[in-house]
Each structure stands twice: as C-alpha cells, then as structure tokens.
Structure 1
Amino acid sequence: MQGNLNEIDIRSILQLIELGQRTGQLLVEAGFHKQDHLNLDETIRHRHSKNHRKQSWFVFFINGQIIYCQAGDSNLSRIDDYLRHYRVETGIDQKHNTSLATQNVPEYGYLWTLLERNIISPKIAHSIIQRLVQETLFDLLSLHQGSFIFRQGAALAPQLTSLEIAPLVARITKQVQEWKRLYPQIQSPEQLPVLVDTVELRSSLPEATVNKLQHWADGKTSLRQLARYLNRDLLTIAKAIYPYVVQGWLQLVDAATNHSQTLIPELGEENHRPRIVCIDDTTTICEAVESILKLHGYEAIALTQPLEALGLVFQLRPDLILCDIAMPELDGYEICSMLRHSTAFRLVPIIMLTGKDGFIDRVRARMVGATDYLTKPFDDSELLMLVEKYVNYKSFMGTPKK
C-alpha cells in the first residue's frame, strides 16, 4: 500500500491498518508530489544533510496496533529529552546501543539498552513510548502533503507495548483542531519561546511564574522540547503560554531565524537609523520601497511572506511598518490587528498599502488599528512624505541623506 496524501489522509491509512490487523511499518514523508517515487529501503539507508532532508516518520505495527514511532532522522536526543524529566543520566555512548533492535531503528535499540542495563524501569520506557507515539501522530495528523508507503513484515522486536489506534487518533485529532485555534500566534512545535517584556510580566504575574518563564523561555528550547522536559502534551504547553504571547510579553521565533540572528541588523545606541519594514507579497513593490527608503537614509527591510513576517517583526522591532492589505494566507487587516494586541506594537505606526482607494477599506484599516493608508501605485514623494510624517528622522541621526 502506497500513495500520496492528497489522495488519502493519514487518519484513513491508520484505520485501514487497524481494520486489516496489519503487521509491518509505515513510512511517511512530507512534501512529496505524485511524480516522486518513495523507496523505503533507500530512505532508511541514505540521509541527506539537515538543510536538504525531507521530514519523515516511521510507524511500526503489530496486528493493527502501534508498537513504536520514530522520527525519520533517527535523532536519539528525543529520548534524552524525556529522560530529563525523570532526571536520568544514561552514561551510554549513543553510537553503540542498537544491539537489541534492527539497525534501522536506533531509537528503539537505545530504549531497550537503557532497560537492559536497569537505567530506566519498564514503566518509564512505556511512558516514553506513549509520548513519542503521541507526538508523532500529532505531526502526521497535521500533515496534508506528502507520500506514504506501508510494507507488511515481521513485527519490531523485542516488543514492550502496543497501543490501540482508534482512541489515540480520536484524542490527537481533537488536539490538532484545538492547536489550529492558537494560530497564528503559535504556528509550529519547533518555535522557540523568548521573553520580551519582563517588566509587564513581573507586574502581572506571581514571582514564581515569572522565574519559570525566564528559565524555559531562553530562545534555545522549542515548544516540543519543553513538552518533553515537563512530560506534558504539546497542546497543554501551547495553551499555557498563549495568553503571554497575545499580550506581547512572550515571543515565539522560528529556530532557523533564531540561529541566524546575525543576518538581522542590530540597532545600536549610536548611528541608529530608522528601521522600516515593508510586508507585501509583491516583490516589485518591496524592491521599490527598499530602493526609495534606502536612498534617503532609512534602513528598509522587505518581507514577502506574510506568515513569516509576523514572527520576524518582533525580532526586527521596526520604527514603522508598511503592510499590504490583499495578501494570501494572512491579509494586512489580520496582521495589523495581531500586532496591535502586543504591547510592543501598540504605538508603532502601521501604514496600510492597497491598490484600492475606497472608503470602506480606509474604515476597516482604522478599525484594526492602522495609523494611515497609502494607495498603490504611489511615487517616491508620497511614500517619503508619509514615512517622514510618522518617523521623526532628526531624532535618530540628523538630516537625511540626499
């Protein structure tokens, strides 16, 4: 059994495996198209570098029940993340611990090595397996594009436990639906929480809560890692921090963005130029805005992906935002409204860009908190006049360049 997820969804695939009481393994890879050919053995043997590897998952079954789930990159740190909750130090060289499992499932071998050496109890191992299965199914049930192949065969051995599919799928499907309600404030399990307003936190929350947030929201620990460390499901963690994200006290950044922070210009106390961010899915508009503003001494940064832009502006901390209204996935009204709910952006000028010159659009823009409105197409002088109206350039560094 194999195919594409635009033809059959993960839930249906799991139901077929359960109804057929199948034994074997399922491989799912994200982002494949119809012309892509998925080969299980080649995928197991060959892994690309992290920047080029497609995300993948393995699910192992016996008689229509799940034995184990493994992330395709075979990253043994997942188990160590859970062991941190139990304060277990393994002292094992992870490269040489797969004697009890097939060579294709190093995680499972690692877990059994810990059991065999009495480093963890069967109860802890069972709990870790349950958590790993749940987090894998959460990813799979959130997936809409990709390819899969199920191959019948001998069961993964030795076997510690088996889990019924139907109740797991029902519970996690509900979690995925609730997770979507937290969007776009919370977008991915791999996002990193970072504290941005400790003053407001200390004035609004108990000291113990603030200390916990300071400990975990270090910009290095993802939501998923946090769920593992605390032995909680991902949705519980996301719901707990959601109010702080909405208030603007806590910020979520993408791991890739956080690891490449040097690419984002830092604002120093000296020679601080006004920073203008332009959010527009039309590349030509972004290039024009950047060119005009840079020529007159402003620091201009163009963002063409609205969903990514929403997270980046918290890191960029612009002095003014230019935002297109008509964009796919997330329009300018939604972006403006979300930013206004954050204390960090309540006073930042937000100018809406649109190709329409209608009264209703102006009213809607004002209702969501827009500062002003600029109709496309616009010329250099119109853009500069509006930017200078809301950014006091002289207070930054003196007379603008000509």
Structure 2
Amino acid sequence: MSSSGVLKQKLQSLQGKKFTGRIDIKNSKGKEWRLYFCLSRLMWADGGYHPYRAWERLLNKYCPHLDHHFIDINKAKEFECWNYYLIVSLLQRFLITKEQALCLINEKIKQILFDIYQAENQEKLKYNFILVEDNFPEESGLKVSITLLKIETILNTVESQWQQWENAGLNRFSPNFAPVVKNPVLLQQKFKGKEKTYRKLISLLNGKFPLTELADKLNLTILKVTLWLKPYLEQDLISLVEIKDKSVQITLIGVTNHDYKITNTTHQQLIICVDDSLQVCQIMEHIVTEAGYQYFSIQNPLKALPEILKRKPDLIFLDLIMPIVNGYEICSQIRRVSALKDIPIIILTSNDGMVDRVRSKLVGANGFLGKPIDQEKVLAKIKASFRAKKSSKSDDASTTLEFKTETSP
C-alpha cells in the first residue's frame, strides 16, 4: 500500500458508520489539517498552509465581484471554522450564489486532501478521530450545512490530481511554496533573445506568490505552471521556498479605517540593500523579509547616503560595481558619518578577488559576499553581523582593537 493509501483507508473506514466529528491530522513538523464530517460525509476541511491567503485566493477566484466590505470578519473570528461561517453568512445575505458557495467548499476540501496526500508521500502522519455528539456546537461555525460530499466521490477526484502530479515527477514540489530566482545570471542565459519573457519571469518569481496563486495570475493550471518550472528547479536556477501567511486586512461593517490583523507586530531589524540591479534587489527582498527582517532597497547609488541617514538601518548590503558612484565611495561616505559608523556593511560583488577584499576592509566594510546571491550565505552573513554587533556592544574596547588589527594594511 502506498503512503497516500493510508488517508484513503482511514476515510473509507468511516463509510456506513454515520460518523459526525472531525479528524485531526499532523506531521512531524507540527503542520495540522482538519477534516469535518457529518454522518460520514465531508462537510469542510481546514488548516494546512496559509489559511488566510488561501481564503483570499478562493474568494478572488470564485467571487470576483464580491465587495469585501460586506465581510464581517470581526464576528467570524469567534468561530473555529471562521471561513466556513463566512461562506454561510455571505450565502444567507445573498451576497454569493449557492454555486459560488459550493465551489468555495469543494475547492477548499480538495486542496486540503491534496496536501495530505503529498504529506503522506513524505512521512507517516498522525490521525486523531474526535467524535461529536449529535451535532457540531455553535462555536464551531458549522451549525448550518451547505453541502455534504460523498467520501468516495471527492477522493476519486483528488486521487486523480495526485496521480497526475506524481506521474509528472513533481512529488517533492509543494503547490503551497513560492518560486524564487536563485541564479538570475544563468537563468538569463537560458532566455537569450527573449528578454521580455525573462523580465516577466523575474517579476513573478520573486518568492511572494505560491504556485497556486501564480497559476491564477497566469490563468493556467498548477500542474502546467509547475511542469514548466520543473527544469529550472532541477537545475537549481529557481528554488521553492515556504512563505508566511498573509494577515487578514478587511474593513469591517460599520467601522471606518479599521484593520483586523491576524499576525502580531513586533520590532524588526531593518536591512538595506544598495544595488543598481532590480533582480538582485528583488531576490534580496525575498530572502530578508522571509527571515523576518524589514527591508528597503536603493537602486540609485546617488540616493544611498541620504536614504541610509534617514532610515538608519541595522545592516547594509552594498554592491561594489555601480554607475557614477561605486561601493567603495559609498562605504567611505557612510563611515564618515558618526551616527552610521557602527552599522555593519557587507560588500556584494561578482569579483571575489583579494584586492577587492582588502580595499573593502580599508574603507570600513565588515564583510564580503560573492554573487550570484545565495540564500543560505546571505542569512549566514546577517546572523554573523548581528552577533558581532551585539558582541561589540558588550565589549567595545576589545572589539575596536581587534577591528583595527584586522583592517590595517
């Protein structure tokens, strides 16, 4: 029996038992999916990747003309299945049709089941059956039943989708992960004579949109988009990265200029990248923001110093070769300003030579990072820079002596 056969076996075991309740399914990393049943028929599915952005995506896809001002998320957040409650509410107020409601429910369930199939293909999952007496409680958000799906019918559909995905050799690629260009220089060589296509590609593959959303933007199936990207993923020119869920920002009924944010806001360290290349700035933005830092890019080197003075970042990535003003000059300018003298500066360059390294240290740079941009190396530089900065605060004298020794010609 294949690993994904475990899910099928578990669901088929419910048939004829009139099971009302839910199944909680978890992987070893704490990812959880929930399947809700009424009399052994599927009523709803939730959890998994990006519940809020997945909800937004389905609304945009199946209810494109819906005015989001009519979505009372302040009320919905009281319920366990807040998104199901909202579907019922929209349907009862005739803001969406029955067909739209059914599409929202069917697609959500199929997405969750597909994700579980893929997770089962990677490891053994934990299943927990929770029985509900009579009916779901009010706080579940499932008091009203819109549709009850036969397990066999929906399993056949999802199984067919997974089989196609598996046959195409896409097992290890999650539709919930976002593609990002890892090596823009080599990728550009693959598109010689197709500059327009390459620019479009770079603008979309920025690590902000999971494959599901990218497929919608291109008006293609997820299978077609992933198959097209597969060669570049296998050549390590593009990589798939996990992204954070969106916060829900919807204006509530009767409330002006009020945002309900799901995520907590905390102080984030600011990282600035000064590079005249748009592609480099976009790649750096993805890496930095996904690591939880604030990010700001400067493509015009003449604006670098004023912007840095204004924003006072915690770390600067600085390109070495730029028009009009190069990285050496900008680094020297920064170090002449007393308020900026302690900000770590990492030099970015394609020329990883000893002369550049020595000269970079002489003008006050703290580190050196070669191009093309590599995510792991960028994150390692960030962590090392902040560790060094923290250490320097606890022992200014010794750090100053060490730095002087290191940078002496």
CA deviation string 1:94-114 (max 9, x = no partner): 533439xx8221111111222
Match of 1:365 in 2: none
SS in 2 for 1:9: helix
CA deviation string 1:260-304 (max 9, x = no partner): 28799957325568999xxxxxxxxxxxxxxxxxxxx99799xxx
Aligned pairs (5 A) from 1:323-342: none
**Residue 81 in structure 1 maps to residue 57 in structure 2:** yes
Match of 1:158 in 2: 144
SS in 2 for 1:57: strand
Aligned pairs (5 A) from 1:60-75: 60-71=36-47, 75=51
Aligned pairs (5 A) from 1:176-195: 176-180=162-166, 187-195=173-181
Identity of aligned residues (%): 18
CA deviation string 1:359-402 (max 9, x = no partner): xxxxxxxxxxxxxxxxxxxxxxxxxxxxxxxxxxxxxxxxxx99
Match of 2:375 in 1: 315
Root-mean-square deviation (CA), in Å?
A: 4.6
In structure 2, distance between residues paired with 1:120 and 1:112? 9
**What amino acid sits opposite 1:260 in the alignment?**
A
Contact preservation (8 Å) 2:233, 2:239: yes
Task: Identify the match of residue 129 of structure 2 among 149, 158, 180.
Answer: 149
Contact preservation (8 Å) 2:23, 2:130: yes
CA deviation string 1:293-340 (max 9, x = no partner): xxxx99799xxxxxxxxxx9853589xxxxxxxxxxxxxxxxxxxxxx
In structure 1, distance between residues paired with 2:22 and 2:351? 52
Match of 2:69 in 1: 91
User: For the structure 1 residues 248 and 179, does the alpha-carbon distance in structure 2 shift closer, same or farther, using more than 3 Å as the test?
Assistant: same
Contact preservation (8 Å) 1:251, 1:314: no
Contact preservation (8 Å) 2:35, 2:45: yes
User: For the structure 1 residues 214 and 119, does the alpha-carbon distance in structure 2 shift closer, same or farther, using more than 3 Å as the test?
Assistant: farther
User: For the structure 1 residues 157 and 215, does the alpha-carbon distance in structure 2 shift closer, same or farther, using more than 3 Å as the test?
Assistant: farther
Number of matched residues? 262
SS in 2 for 1:166: helix
Aligned pairs (5 A) from 1:21-40: 21-31=18-28
Contact preservation (8 Å) 2:21, 2:37: yes
Contact preservation (8 Å) 2:165, 2:171: no
SS in 1 for 2:319: coil
Match of 1:260 in 2: 291
Report the alpha carbon displacement of residue 76 of structure 1 after superposing the two structures with TM: 3.9
In structure 1, distance between residues paired with 2:171 and 2:35? 30
SS in 2 for 1:163: coil
Give the TM-score normalised by the residue count of structure 2: 0.50
Report the alpha carbon displacement of residue 73 of structure 1 after superposing the two structures with TM: 8.7
In structure 2, distance between residues paired with 1:71 and 1:80? 14
CA deviation string 1:66-113 (max 9, x = no partner): 1211116994442221122243331145533439xx822111111122
Give the TM-score normalised by the residue count of structure 1: 0.51
Contact preservation (8 Å) 2:48, 2:112: no
In structure 1, distance between residues paired with 2:49 and 2:211? 19
SS in 2 for 1:27: strand
Aligned pairs (5 A) from 1:85-124: 85=61, 86-88=63-65, 89-92=67-70, 94-98=72-76, 103-124=79-100
SS in 1 for 2:143: coil
CA deviation string 1:126-171 (max 9, x = no partner): 1121111111001222232334223144263322222222243234
In structure 1, distance between residues paired with 2:91 and 2:223? 29
SS in 1 for 2:19: coil
